Amino acid sequence: MERELISTQYVVLIVTAIITGTLARALTLREDYRQYPSYPNGYLIHLLTGFIAASLGAVAIPALMTKNFVAVTFLALAIQQFREIRKMEFNSLMHLEQTEYTRRGEAYIDGIAKTFEARNYIALTVAFTTALTIQVLNSQRIWINIAGGAVTGFAVLWFLKKLSKGKTVGDIAQVKPGKIEVKGSALYVDGIFVSNLLGTEISRKLFREEGIAVVIYPNENHYRITLENYGLRQAMLFEATKAVGLKRYHFTRRDFGEGRIVTAFVPIIQDMDRVIEAVKNTPLLESVKKSHALMETR
């Protein structure tokens, strides 16, 4: 019976690695709040999947040390599981599309799903490096092993968080309030034609009195390629309407002449600052982002 039990050294290694890995997932989960509704069940699901990811990373080193090389192949299972998480997030958000004020759009959903997958890899990597450090240190004093492993784990977490941190619209553009004008059935914002769907008197009155519009000015001309992407415009509109609600009508329009982008809608709560902040905080989607340096021709 005694032989079948793992040694205290490995128990400390596995438990420390699992805790740091799960903590890594918990710390990265907090950042998801803006991207995702804060329902408690979603939080629980991701904490538990993070725990499993951390467990897989934690037991890899003991498996190797006991010459159980085949067991390491379960890391392939981990990748499969993370892909499932990505799929689950994608499907779940796609099903919610019809219930939101405006659509998130496939590009935004793809970005969110990818982030969830990536954060499980972070949990696994943090747990793995923690376990590796403890194994390398292999000190007789347990607390040295724990402290060394935890420090390395959190250093790796800090590095990976920095590496995977994306930019937001506010980093590449200015967001300013736009002046709404209704001429006949046409809606103009800062002189830019937006839509001619204001055919009824009620809609014109509603937009004149309660409409809200922001104009996005790219900081550099080449940022237009990113900002004018339909997926990103949809994401900006989604974040704006999510921040202040939507009564009726939502439009987004490009101005080809000066590269401005207009987002206009009738909100439930009149709060321009919140709308500007929401648009500024919209993440630049991975599928949309272009590196200007890489695109330069020789």
For other proteins, the binding residues (CB under 8 A) are 184-185, 196-203, 230
As beta bridge partners, residue 188 has 181, 193
How far, in Å, CA of 218 to CA of 25, rounded?
34
Nearer to other proteins, 22 or 203 (CB): 203
> In the bound complex, what is the minimum distance in angstroms from residue 197's beta carbon to other proteins?
4
211 closest CA partner among 190, 232, 234: 190
Nearer to other proteins, 83 or 183 (CB): 183
**Could you tell me if 257 and 130 are in contact, meaning their C-beta atoms sit under 8 angstroms apart?**
no
Nearer to other proteins, 166 or 199 (CB): 199
Nearer to other proteins, 79 or 182 (CB): 182
> In the bound complex, what is the minimum distance in angstroms from residue 146's beta carbon to other proteins?
54
- The 10 Å Cβ neighbour count of residue 91 is 12
> In the bound complex, what is the minimum distance in angstroms from residue 202's beta carbon to other proteins?
7
How far, in Å, CA of 198 to CA of 153, rounded?
57
Angle at Cα 296 formed by Cα 293 and Cα 298, nearest 5°?
Answer: 130
> In the bound complex, what is the minimum distance in angstroms from residue 86's beta carbon to other proteins?
25
**Could you tell me if 114 and 286 are in contact, meaning their C-beta atoms sit under 8 angstroms apart?**
yes
Helix (H, G, I), strand (E, B) or coil at 212: strand
State both tokens at 152. 């390395």
**Could you tell me if 178 and 216 are in contact, meaning their C-beta atoms sit under 8 angstroms apart?**
no
> In the bound complex, what is the minimum distance in angstroms from residue 104's beta carbon to other proteins?
14
Round to the nearest angstrom and report the end-to-end CA distance of the chain.
70
Nearer to other proteins, 172 or 227 (CB): 227
How far, in Å, CA of 218 to CA of 88, rounded?
34
Nearer to other proteins, 2 or 201 (CB): 201
> In the bound complex, what is the minimum distance in angstroms from residue 201's beta carbon to other proteins?
7
> In the bound complex, what is the minimum distance in angstroms from residue 261's beta carbon to other proteins?
16
Nearer to other proteins, 154 or 249 (CB): 249
Q: Is 271 exposed, middle or buried (0-12, 13-18, 19+ CB in 10 A)?
A: middle
